[in-house]
Structure 1
Amino acid sequence: MISIVVPTLGRPSLGTLLDALAPQLAELPDVEILLVDDRRDTAGELAVPGALSAYAKVVTGRGAGPAAARNVGWRAARRPWVVFLDDDVVPAPDWARRLLADLAVGDRVGGVQGTVAVPLPGDRRPTDWERSTAGLAEGEWITADMAYRRATLEAVDGFDERFPRAYREDAELAHRVRLAGWELVRGRRVVTHPVRPEDRWVSLRVQRGNADDALLRRLYGPDWRAELGLPPGRRPRHVATAAAGALAVTAGALRTLLPRDGAPRRVLGAVAAAGALGWVAGTAEFAAVRIAPGPRTRGEVSTMLLTSALIPPVAVAHWVRGWWRHRPSGADGDPAGAQS
């Protein structure tokens, strides 16, 4: 009845997930677990714990990201329901029992999402990264715990592998599923998603997702956020802040090339000052929004100040990169690259 697909890079959290699943599997009739080993460079075969040897097998991924790994997993699955779990979640003790109840749905329901709980510190305010991870609890149709009928996945050809990160690929799949006439509903099973430890630069690295947003813009037009049910982003503000900074630098550099006395030099000086003021205002507003709800420790504040200055140009650069990479090609005008 159920295939559980877990794409993994072999992180230690996988063992925690499997330990939580093992005592519950007897409650699931006709279940299999497919561990998709998506490591590019493997030191050895991924080991299946002895307690799961009757249920689990390892499937070799292509090292092309979570969307491609999930496609490998569900296409190898043999059961009518495919439940995707991330390798860093922990199912609740009653997860299997609630999963069975969640899947008792009508024929037109193509997918059932589980509830994702993100534990946050109880003795202090959460950091920016912790709040970002906690946003998973409000996400719709995220594959941290998402069950789809295999027939539904076949009907829409699974995940779009042009999304190379764990970002937007699940929302885009859900959109195509609904366009195909299937319903998506929320279930009552629960998994916990602990906050992964990260360094102070994580907010810069996640800006790579802007390239995937550019693909969605190419696919669904200027109203792509509303069409996919995604919240508004800060990109217009990032563009304005980055543009103000670029204007200040450019005008300042040109000003140094002109004679000291003259109207053009004064005009460029005024332009540079206006650009600098706009950059400072935009950066200060962004930093304040990120600092205010946090713990406001010295380390957190310094990280927010530094990364708030860097994020706007980094975000815009990734957006432009994605916009160019996925520019229309061919007679049909579809974005470059084929969906797998």
Structure 2
Amino acid sequence: MISIVVPTLGRPSVAALLDALTGQVGELPDVEILLVDDRRDDTGELAVPGALTAYTKVLTGRGAGPAAARNLGWRAARAPWVVFLDDDVVPAPDWCRRLRDDLAVPATVGGVQGRVEVPPPAGRRPTDWERGTAGLAEGAWITADMAYRRAALVAVGGFDERFPRAYREDAELAHRVRLTGWELVRGRRRVAHPVRPEDRWVSLRTQRGNADDALLRRLYGRRWRSDLGLPPGRRPRHVAVTAAGALALAGAALGARLRPGTPARRALRLATGTAALAWAAGTAELARARIAPGPRTADEVATMLVTSALIPPVAVVHWVRGWWRTRRVPAGAVVAADRPGARS
């Protein structure tokens, strides 16, 4: 038996996912689909295709984020294998057949990841947002399509619900699963992950994930990125650029109060100018790194210039917010089997 868990906010994309499963779910032996409705508002029942109603059970989440929704799903699951799918992926026509093959693994394997394919834009270079989504294709153990043995989930207590977003919670779970001795491998089944439309400010909203990075730093120490197999980030540069900008603004404000021509004002102007140059150089480097591989349209360039000036301070603010929120979390206080869920 196989349990498929799909947490959803009721986005239109979930209909495409369910439609893709409709014609092939019968290829799986004794399958169940657990659709976790994690909407915070009561906007009616989720629509389930008629061909799937015999397989599907809708669970009501509490709107606490994907980690909590997935925990609700797998704890209600009856199968020894639990497959997590995001509600914005589209399984390939042979997904069920390949899933069955993927799960025929040795008993030492606790999880099998599917392959995520992000369709590129036609006839142009991808935007900054599209490149970020395309990075999912290289992500390790992401729950866009990830199967775990239920025994492995029980052994580690499931997802850490202190992660309120779809960010890092899957990598953190995979790390704990491997620490308990399970192996994780990649399978051959495929899902497509279309790029959802977003406005020009999406790069600022994604900086909220820095608060979750602060929690990982608290749980796993300074080496959390390498321990979890995550790529290096830009936080040191964001901190430096933000500090330079703050010093330049503070220097300009203070200089306006000093008498012209005094040695103190000249020294302050020099320091302020140096800080301003450092801020401009750091901002230009970030903008160039984001503009160069993109379509370079006027709209995209304008968006990159504005958001590249805002991203460093926004990222630092969210990191500090996360540090403050988790300051009383005991170092190393990860979720464990004897205390399921998570505690703030």
State the TM-score, normalizing by the size of structure 1: 0.97
CA deviation profile, 1:225-269 (whole Å, cap 9, x unmatched):
100000011111111111100010011111111112311111111
Q: What is the letter of the counterpart of residue 90 of structure 2?
A: V
Matches within 5 A, 1:29-108: 29-108=29-108
Pair 1:334–1:158, CA change in 2 (3 A): closer
How many Å apart are 1:198 and its aligned residue? Answer: 0.3
How many Å apart are 1:34 and its aligned residue? Answer: 0.3
How many Å apart are 1:339 and its aligned residue? Answer: 4.0
Q: What is the letter of the counterpart of residue 257 of structure 1?
A: R
Q: What is the letter of the counterpart of residue 261 of structure 1?
A: G
Aligned to 2:6: 6
Aligned to 1:134: 134
Aligned to 1:230: 230
SS in 2 for 1:51: helix
Q: Is the 8 A contact 2:219 2:333 kept in 1?
A: no
RMSD: 1.6
How many Å apart are 1:294 and its aligned residue? Answer: 0.4
Pair 1:167–1:333, CA change in 2 (3 A): closer
Q: Is the 8 A contact 2:2 2:82 kept in 1?
A: yes
Q: Is the 8 A contact 1:328 1:334 kept in 2?
A: no
Larger CA deviation: 179-188 vs 48-57? 48-57
Aligned to 1:270: 270
How high is the sequence identity, in percent, across the aligned residues? 76
Equivalent-residue separation in structure 2 for 1:331 and 1:257 (angstroms): 45
Q: Is the 8 A contact 2:207 2:314 kept in 1?
A: yes
Q: Is the 8 A contact 2:220 2:332 kept in 1?
A: no
How many Å apart are 1:274 and its aligned residue? Answer: 0.6
Q: What is the letter of the counterpart of residue 261 of structure 2?
A: D
Equivalent-residue separation in structure 2 for 1:14 and 1:85 (angstroms): 10
Pair 1:333–1:25, CA change in 2 (3 A): closer
**5+ residue gaps, structure 1:** none
Matches within 5 A, 1:1-340: 1-329=1-329, 338-339=342-343
Equivalent-residue separation in structure 2 for 1:84 and 1:32 (angstroms): 12
State the TM-score, normalizing by the size of structure 2: 0.96
How many Å apart are 1:315 and its aligned residue? Answer: 0.4
SS in 1 for 2:24: helix
SS in 2 for 1:141: coil
Q: Across the two proteins, how many residue pairs are aligned to each other?
A: 339
Q: What is the letter of the counterpart of residue 55 of structure 1?
A: Y
Q: Is the 8 A contact 1:118 1:195 kept in 2?
A: yes
SS in 1 for 2:178: helix
Equivalent-residue separation in structure 1 for 2:76 and 2:46 (angstroms): 17
How many Å apart are 1:46 and its aligned residue? Answer: 1.7
SS in 2 for 1:119: coil
Equivalent-residue separation in structure 2 for 1:71 and 1:331 (angstroms): 23
Q: Is the 8 A contact 2:4 2:82 kept in 1?
A: yes
